Structures are given as structure tokens and as C-alpha cells.
Amino acid sequence: MSNITLGNLSYISREELAEQLKTSSSAPSLPSHLAIIDVRDSDHVGGHIRGSTWVPSSELDYKTPELVRTLKDKEVVVFHCALSQQRGPSAALRYIRERERLDQGRGGEKETGDGEEKEPGKEKGQKVLVLRGGFTQWQDKYGPDKGLTEAWQKDIWEFGY
């Protein structure tokens, strides 16, 4: 059983994530080391972070093993929902636990090699983060920026979430 909990997940601010997207030479796609997973459900309308992958939280039960396999070479995986209070952190935790389960099935080690355990969410060099404030805070600052946000609709967001 994993010792990782919601309480020890790591977060990234909207500013830090935007900076990674802005400095990417691969625009309009994401930098090759980064994946952004949007787990909003029907509230996905009104825009999304450029290059993000939409995996509704209602589909995570069967899509998480596939995500672990397809994202295995990414250095950073960022999860978010609307507010990143429930679905986003839960998805990140589910992803980390599934990755651990699959690694154990392959005989993978949780240790760094020097007898110390790795930080939660950083096994095999991959960092799993949650976007602080979710898409709601993201769009509040970066919604109109077409270089950072796709399909943003001002009329959906102008009166808040």
C-alpha cells in the first residue's frame, strides 16, 4: 500500500506553469518534458490550457493505467480540475498509486539507490504536480492569452465560477 496521501502532494502555481509554456520552443504544443491532464467533467466548457489532455474524472478508473504508460517518459505531469480541490488532487494521487502498482509488478524499486526513499510523486524521476487553484484561477489571469489558453470563452467566465 502506498504511503502517499492527498496531504503530501506537490503543487505548481499558475505563474510557474505559464512560464514553462511561454519558454517552450515547441509552441503551440507543450514542451516535450511536460504533460497537463485536465480532469474536469462537463465543466470543461469555456476553455482549456494550451496542449492539455482532457481525461474526464468519470473515466479515470479505466484510463489511469493507460496514462501511466503513455506519460512514462514525461519529466513533469500536472493534474488539474476547475478548482484543484478534489478531482485534480485525487487524479494525481490515483496516477501516482497506479504507477507504483505497475512498477511493483515489474519488480521496480522505490528507493534512490542510496537507501533513501524518493519524495512522493517523484519515482523514476517523474514529478507529479497539481495546479494550484485549477483552471478557474488559471483562466482568471491567462484566459484571454491565446498563447496559453485555447477555446476560452469570456462570457462563460466573466461572472466567476
What residues are annotated to the active site?
81
Residue 52 identity (one-letter amino acid): S
Handedness of CA 51, 129, 65, 122 (dihedral sign): positive
CA-nearest of 73, 82, 15 to 46 is 82
The dihedral formed by the CA atoms of 144, 147, 152 and 154, expressed in degrees to the nearest 10 = 10
Q: How many whole angstroms separate alpha carbon 75 and alpha carbon 109?
A: 18
